[in-house]
Amino acid sequence: MGALLKGEEGPAVLVNEQGRSPYVLICEHASNRLPKSLGNLGLAAADLQRHIAWDIGAESVARLLSRLMDAPLVLQRYSRLAYDCNRPPESPDAMPAVSEVTEIPGNRNLSFAERLARIQEIYRPFHQAVSEVLDTRAAQDQKSVIVSIHSFTPVYKGKTRKVELGILHDRDASFSSTLIKRFSKVDARLNEPYGPKDGVLHTMNLHAAPRGLKHAMIEIRNDLISSERGQQTWAQWLSVPLIQAAAAFSRR
């Protein structure tokens, strides 16, 4: 490890790597942990518990889904405030100086070396790990559908969001638009509360599109999965339509 992680663990956490599900799960915003060398980025402890640091509840839901569906899962070990792995290095949001309306002092005026260390030690090895999981499956002709698990804040910049479940896609809508039909009991919407124009489909554009793989990015409103019970309910409840959709998909 280089200057940033200094002997700390690498950024990619692999769970159930040999899982036999058609799904490969990704959770870029699983954690609010910061590399020790970054301190607290100048933020109060309470800020590091907020949505700006991570997707609240997403890791639990992703781990439960991985178990329920026997799916490999790649989790990011560090907070998106260190590097947002759902953004390319070219994006100002990759290492945001302001997140939502909160200034991130430790991300102001980063030097070339600081930016490069974040890219090389957090972004690149995380996506390398995802690539390797997909490469191994491709080598054995195992079909993959990429699903990422996210959560969103119920109030964003003062505005309340009603949508409970977002199913997001970019160019290839086929899987997402099939999947959403299986969610009739909640307020589920395609490409809400944000979509490709907001630059949030990076992981899918990096891993799904160039391989011709189907994809869906799942966004759950975080008040619904902030408790353990909510996480279990939602994981259970997401797994059924996902398993059905995969079966329907592989029959075609």
Distance CA 223, CA 156 (A): 13
Written as six digits, the tokens of 237 are: 């409840």
Give min distance, CB of 207 to its own copies, in A. 9
- Contact call for residue 161 and its own copies (CB under 8 A): no
> Which residue of 1, 15, 116, 173 would you call a contact of its own copies, by CB under 8 A?
116
Cβ contact 172:178 at 8 Å: no
Q: Does 250 bind its own copies (CB under 8 A)?
A: no
Q: According to the binding rule CB under 8 A, does residue 91 interact with its own copies?
A: yes
User: Residue 177 interacts with its own copies (CB under 8 A)?
Assistant: no
174 touches its own copies by CB under 8 A: no
Instruction: Please name which of 93, 94, 148 lies closest in space to residue 124, comparing C-alpha atoms.
Output: 94
Interacting residues of 173 by C-beta distance below 8 A, sequence separation 6+: 190
Rounded to a whole number of angstroms, the minimum distance from the CB of residue 133 to its own copies is 12
Q: Does 18 bind its own copies (CB under 8 A)?
A: no
Q: How many helices (H) and strands (E) does the chain have?
A: 6, 11
**Based on CB atoms, which residue is closest to its own copies, 83 or 234?**
83
116: tokens are 């490069």
Among 169, 202, 214, 221, binds its own copies (CB under 8 A): 202
By DSSP bridging, strand 155-156 and strand 145-152 are unpaired
Footprint on this chain of its own copies (rule: CB under 8 A) = 88-91, 112, 115-116, 119-120, 123-124, 128, 131-132, 134-136, 138-140, 171, 199, 202, 205-206, 209-213
